[in-house]
Structure 1
Amino acid sequence: MKEISCKLLVIGAGPGGYVCAIRAGQLGVDTVIVEFGKPGGTCLNVGCIPSKALIHAAEEFDKVAHMAGGKDPLGIKVAAPTLDLATTITWKDGIVSRLNSGVAGLLKKAKVKTVQGWATFRDGKTVEVETETGTQVIRAETVVIATGSAPVELPFLPFGGPVISSTEALALSEVPKKLAVVGGGYIGLELGMAFAKLGAKVILVEALPRVLAQYDAELTRPVLKRLGELGVEVMSGAKAKGLSTRGDALLVETADGKNAKIAADKVLVTVGRKPLTEGWGLDQIDLDRAGRFIRIDDQCRTSMRGIYAIGDVTGEPMLAHRAMAQGEMVAEIVAGHKRSWDKRAIPAICFTDPELVTAGLSPEEAKAFAGEIKIGQFPFAANGRAMTRQGEDGFVRVVARADNHLVLGIQAVGQGVSELSTAFGLALEMGARLEDIAGTIHAHPTQGEGFQEAALKALGHALHI
């Protein structure tokens, strides 16, 4: 049995884990990272990156299909397009492979030792790793748990056969003719809309009264309009009950209590994600939990000295950039720097059509927090760049305190607004006031002007509406 010792051991090479290890290596900390699969974790391999590749392919196919149908206002006419999804998936896999190699190269550059295998705790300082060449024992002064999360499986719709998770959906070689999506959150909407654009007949089944329930109704209205244009049927207030005997249909209890059968080649279950806390020997150490998640403080320390936890295993929001920020912070703490964690300025993006971005507090949350507030909202229908991109649906909204104009939250819905998320996060991080945003010169013509105009609107003197 081989044995190695290190100052820092990171378990999991997803976005949080690999960033933590790279930063620690840069700071001269003797670091080992353990990963069972490929570097990059869920986000790079079966999540953020491959889903955005599929969404982009779907957008391009949908554009060409409209041109072929003679519905393009730009006057572009083409022959009817066809899709080879297997080729699309090969292209997506090529991107993932390049990024895998990039992460591995960055770890090597930072002098981080990578151990391939499954890690199990012996105690708070010792881990066993089952590798291809045998058991490797690693002793560390400090351990970071970055094991991530996995799709939630419904007991009456177990994964297998026609029932798939987002992982399998991103590896299909053919577009299903009929796709039932169980769960109307951001994953279900992103993939459901993409497959609708690729030619699938999509039905969304959501138990809550409306889809994208974590966003306010005004923000999601343009997305719901687009769902209708794509022919996506939305069954809200409906509960999935299981598969039909033949496995070719989804059984549903509708909002009025009736039973329905939805014909489907594939049933995509997207009802959330759960932390990966099983199989790591966590029963050998005593960590406090916050529900299903590992409890952490504002420095990502767990209840055991010398053990940190970062990313999805620590709870919401389950975002790759949250994990990355936590990983970088923990590496610097281990290296002796003074750091703490504040999640108020984390943007969250839903890559639907159109896209949704939120950062900070919603109007309702801001009212509860600060009392009287000011809201400025600017529509993309009044933005020249949005019009030239055929993206007039949507708006930018800024929420601020009424007394001192401190910006508390920013939201947007529209084509390409994901690229505005950095500006939103920066404004919150820097403690911007409405006057700061309004007084910053925004380039013309860009959709970013909508941010400035929303601040001007909150101050009572928008220029273009």
Structure 2
Amino acid sequence: MNHRVEGQVSTISDGSDSVDIECEMLVLGAGPGGYSAAFRSADLGMKTVIVERYAALGGVCLNVGCIPSKALLHVASMIEETASSSDLGVTFSAPQIDIDKLKAHKEKIVSTLANGLTSMAKGRKVEVVRGYGRFLDPHHLEVEITDGKGQNRTGLKKVIKFQKCIIAAGSAAVHLPFLPHDPRIVDSTGALELHFVPQKMLVIGGGIIGLEMATVYSSLGAQIDVVEMADELMSGPDRDAVRVWERQNLHRFGKIRLKTRVASIEAKDDGLYVTFEGENATAETLKYDMILQAAGRTPNGNKVAADKAGVFVDDQGFIPVDSQMQTNVPHIFAIGDIVGQPMLAHKAMHEAHIAAEVAAGKRTFFDALVIPAVSYTHPEVAWAGYTEEQAKKEGRHVKVAKYPWAASGRAIANGADYGFTKLIFDTHTHRIIGGSIVGPSAGDMIGEVGLAIEMGCDVVDIARTIHPHPTLGETIGLAAEVADDTCTDLPPQRKKLTH
């Protein structure tokens, strides 16, 4: 819900001596949402300025998040596949890990994409100001300029006067206050820097970020333990999909402690000594070489002095917006992590286009039915729309159809017969309302499920769509055939007797 507030805000003189840059659209933050908002605003004819603290555009996602982690996950997948290839008659020697070359590979990918964004900004005449931005009032932002690396403050400041603004300041990793300051205790950003490969590593938090980095470090040779306060890992997808992932990852983890938390950590020269408390805690103190804290992310709403612009920020740091991405101040919009869950780059990019178009006078709204999500672990887990659990909680009558990849020729050939594709249909309308996929390339396939939900496809629409064979993607059509009782790639289903 959008909150409108009244109150006094500080103002500065509009004199030319007080303002360094003037623009029609100011975008605060250059992550996937921010640069998309800036580029769309420029394409719609607005003079646009973007403020970003990193040296390169792309924000956390490109510089220290989505992209570098996927580069490393690709390498991890290669290691995993070669390790199991001996069963196929091809044997490789044990991999030799060159950390410096691996880091250079990751950084080259980031640099290539960052250069592309810089080129696109120049092509659109979007001015980039590097620094930390804070509002002075509803039409002025002060930027504390950073150095060429985009991190260290220089003491220089610039004031930008804007007509409209899109806040895309994102989120930051949660830092647990009881952890000691030690270079061996890292968040996801620190983990991606690959300072060294630990012999034994503890991951605090069993969510997607922690499990993805666990996949990387395990493939590089680390022994992994996980501690999670909740009673399950990877919350979000259906439990049957997570169980498949768990079975495929038994070799990766030493100990997974659910319903347990870290009680204390003592940093010593020879390691990090950890004690636990909770249902699955051990009485002994355990030593680790590295600890990854992956306890979630928190929005940056309270870091941009939004109150001075009159923008409402809730107790958690989120900025509420309406369906047109407007805050309580009509000419100021907000998008991405800072407006609420799910904190996903593709959601932010979708919101960015809406905000820019509304600011340009177009009548458009955020009306997406689903936002797909992917865990880029090995194997991948992807889902969109309703899960079985969500449908049950809401009392919806559904038909669930699952196609096991053990019946897929392509999956068997790829060594992925453990996976499955599941679709969920409303029994009244016969339309698809959800789906999940677990296995290689699940993230690449879930988009079709999202499109089917958005288009209101029913069972027959999907089942009668011809998919290429043999592919993993055809399992979506085959799952719909299961729901339609027309699948000939599985044993005949027993018909229930009616009375």
Q: Distance in 2 between matches of 1:344 and 1:378?
A: 24
Amino acid in the other structure paired with 1:447 = L
Corresponding residue to 1:81 among 95, 118, 123: 95
Identity within the alignment, %: 37
Bigger Cα displacement from structure 2, 91-100 vs 2-11: 2-11
Corresponding residue to 1:392 among 417, 422, 431: 417
Q: Distance in 2 between matches of 1:140 and 1:60?
A: 48
Alpha carbons 2:237, 2:382 under 8 Å: kept: no
Corresponding residue to 2:45 among 25, 28, 32: 28
Corresponding residue to 1:194 among 216, 235, 243: 216
| CA-CA distance at 1:349 after TM superposition | 0.3
Corresponding residue to 1:337 among 362, 371, 378: 362
| CA-CA distance at 1:258 after TM superposition | 5.0
Q: Distance in 2 between matches of 1:342 and 1:434?
A: 23
- Show CA shifts across 1:122-173 (max 9, x none): 1111111122593222111111110011110111125532210010101113
Give unmatched runs, 5+ long, in structure 2: 1-17, 146-153, 491-499
Amino acid in the other structure paired with 1:43 = C
Amino acid in the other structure paired with 2:413 = T
Residue 431 (structure 2) pairs with residue 413 (structure 1): no
Q: Distance in 2 between matches of 1:109 and 1:340?
A: 28
Q: Distance in 1 between matches of 2:172 and 2:101?
A: 27
| CA-CA distance at 1:257 after TM superposition | 5.7
| CA-CA distance at 1:277 after TM superposition | 2.2
Q: Distance in 1 between matches of 2:83 and 2:230?
A: 33
Aligned 1:132-143 pairs, distance under 5 A? 134-143=156-165
Corresponding residue to 1:427 among 440, 452, 467: 452
Residue 80 (structure 2) pairs with residue 62 (structure 1): yes
- Show CA shifts across 1:215-235 (max 9, x none): 332110111112213344211
Corresponding residue to 1:168 among 152, 172, 190: 190
Q: Distance in 2 between matches of 1:161 and 1:128?
A: 32
Partner secondary structure for residue 244 of structure 1 = strand
Amino acid in the other structure paired with 1:94 = K
Q: Which residue of 2 aligns with 1:268?
A: 292
| 308 and 159 in structure 1: CA distance in 2 versus 1, 3 angstrom threshold | farther
Corresponding residue to 2:484 among 436, 459, 462: 459
Give unmatched runs, 5+ long, in structure 1: none
Amino acid in the other structure paired with 2:310 = D
Q: Which residue of 1 aligns with 2:201?
A: 179
Aligned 1:24-423 pairs, distance under 5 A? 24-37=41-54, 38-67=56-85, 72-131=86-145, 134-158=156-180, 160-244=182-266, 246=268, 248-256=272-280, 258-292=282-316, 293-369=318-394, 371-423=396-448
Q: Distance in 2 between matches of 1:26 and 1:436?
A: 36
- Show CA shifts across 1:73-110 (max 9, x none): 21112222211122101110110011111111111111
Partner secondary structure for residue 288 of structure 1 = coil
Q: Distance in 2 between matches of 1:158 and 1:73?
A: 45
Q: Distance in 2 between matches of 1:372 and 1:404?
A: 10
Alpha carbons 1:250, 1:267 under 8 Å: kept: no
Amino acid in the other structure paired with 1:285 = A
Partner secondary structure for residue 210 of structure 1 = coil
Alpha carbons 2:223, 2:253 under 8 Å: kept: yes
Q: Which residue of 2 aligns with 1:19?
A: 36
Aligned residue pair count: 461
Alpha carbons 1:249, 1:265 under 8 Å: kept: no
Partner secondary structure for residue 24 of structure 2 = strand
| CA-CA distance at 1:208 after TM superposition | 1.2
Across the aligned residues of Structure 1 and Structure 2, the Cα RMSD in angstroms comes to 1.7
